[in-house]
């Protein structure tokens, strides 16, 4: 920086630069950093003893188990769909492709509450299916299947929308080479395509999982809020908070916040090391 005295014509005066940076940092501190810090401070307000005691509560443990269970079902479902949809869309030219891509993004433009509502209308007491399900003793609403369905709905596009642009960019050359050398379709997928897309796939799964574990609105509508049975972690946070049990609410919230932080760290690491292999990752 020998030319420090000569200001480049394509940047601002130092004073303006510092003012802009200060404004940006103040804004980020007020809206992003402080809320995150507040979660952990409120969780430990009465000391680590109280923190761990509230996490050891049986209802809290049940909520943690349910959240893990829902993610374990919902994420692989959307993973399989994402890979299949990306294969069809990226490796072939067919009519209606653009329309299909738009449909996949649909859940992003639907309010979470509406995502839950559609399943209430489909399986609820007043629906066509409702009485039949009841007479056969099948519980979907206010039970785990409903929570899984709502979660699958809101996390539907994550894997697909990471993979589609990535696989489109990679083209079909590698696969054609493998096939011409005598590999079967499955072999081509396992040994050629999958290694090419693994980081992008991991990236999509990561985002999908964060949303699956943290979803609130859609799950809230279909869960029925039965303590210890149909309460996921975010719903449990709400119940504890509304009972003025702030330490416990923030203790559960701090676990979710820690998950978010881990997600961000892994995401950033993936972008740093495999930027080219998750090319579409920066777009949302």
- Per CB under 8 A, contacts with another protein among 109-138 are 109-114, 117-122, 124, 126-127
Q: Residue 283, interface with another protein (CB under 8 A)?
A: yes
Among 63, 107, 208, 270, which residue sits at the site for another protein (rule: CB under 8 A)? 107
Query: Closest approach of Cβ 198 to another protein, in Å?
Result: 18
Query: Closest approach of Cβ 134 to another protein, in Å?
Result: 15
Sequence-ordered list of residues with C-beta below 8 angstroms from that of 175, at least 6 positions apart, any chain: 91, 188, 192, 193
Residues 251/54, Cβ–Cβ less than 8 Å: yes
Tally of CB atoms within 10 A around 263: 17
In angstroms, the CA 232 to CA 223 distance is 9
Q: Which of residues 70-99 bind another protein (CB under 8 A)?
A: 80-81, 84-85, 87-88, 91-95
Read off φ and ψ for residue 151, nearest 5 degrees.
Answer: -65, -40
In angstroms, the CA 79 to CA 266 distance is 18
Q: Which two tokens stand for residue 32?
A: 């992003």
Residues 224/230, Cβ–Cβ less than 8 Å: yes
60: left (phi over 0), alpha (psi -120 to 50) or beta: alpha
Query: Closest approach of Cβ 170 to another protein, in Å?
Result: 12
Q: Residue 30, interface with another protein (CB under 8 A)?
A: yes
Candidates 244, 260, 235; CA nearest to 40 is: 260
Applying CB under 8 A, the site for another protein has a residue count of 100
Q: Which stretch binds another protein (CB under 8 A): 29-37, 50-58, 131-139, 194-202?
A: 29-37
Q: Which stretch binds another protein (CB under 8 A): 16-24, 46-54, 56-64, 197-205?
A: 16-24
Candidates 259, 254, 141, 278; CA nearest to 203 is: 278
Q: Which of residues 211-250 bind another protein (CB under 8 A)?
A: 213-217, 220-221, 233-235, 237-238, 241, 246, 249-250
Query: Closest approach of Cβ 138 to another protein, in Å?
Result: 16
Nearer CB in complex with another protein: 91/227? 91
Q: Residue 38, interface with another protein (CB under 8 A)?
A: yes
Q: Residue 263, interface with another protein (CB under 8 A)?
A: yes
């Amino acid at each position: 920086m020998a030319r420090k005295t000569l200001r480049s014509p394509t940047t601002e005066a130092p004073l303006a630069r510092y003012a802009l940076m200060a404004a940006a940092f103040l804004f980020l501190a007020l809206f992003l950093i402080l809320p995150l810090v507040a979660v952990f401070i409120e969780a430990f307000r009465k000391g680590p003893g109280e923190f761990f005691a509230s996490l050891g509560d049986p209802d809290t443990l049940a909520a943690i188990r349910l959240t893990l269970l829902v993610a374990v079902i919902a994420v692989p479902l959307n993973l399989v769909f994402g890979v299949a949809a990306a294969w069809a869309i990226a490796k072939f030219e067919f009519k209606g492709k653009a329309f299909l891509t738009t449909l996949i993004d649909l859940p992003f433009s639907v309010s979470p509450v509406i995502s839950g509502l559609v399943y209430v209308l489909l399986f609820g007491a007043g629906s066509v299916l409702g009485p039949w399900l009841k007479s056969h003793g099948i519980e979907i609403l206010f039970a785990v299947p409903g929570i899984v369905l709502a979660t699958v709905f809101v996390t539907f596009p994550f894997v697909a929308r990471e993979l589609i642009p990535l696989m489109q960019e990679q083209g079909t050359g590698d696969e054609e080479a493998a096939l011409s050398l005598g590999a079967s379709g499955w072999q081509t997928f396992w040994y050629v395509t999958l290694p090419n897309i693994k980081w992008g796939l991991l990236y999509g799964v990561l985002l999908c999982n964060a949303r699956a574990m943290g979803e609130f609105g859609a799950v809230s509508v279909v869960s029925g809020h039965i303590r210890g049975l149909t309460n996921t972690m975010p719903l449990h946070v709400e119940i504890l908070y509304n009972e003025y049990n702030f330490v416990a609410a923030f203790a559960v919230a701090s676990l979710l916040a820690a998950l978010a932080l881990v997600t961000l760290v892994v995401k950033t690491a993936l972008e740093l090391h495999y930027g080219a292999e998750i090319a579409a990752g920066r777009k949302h």
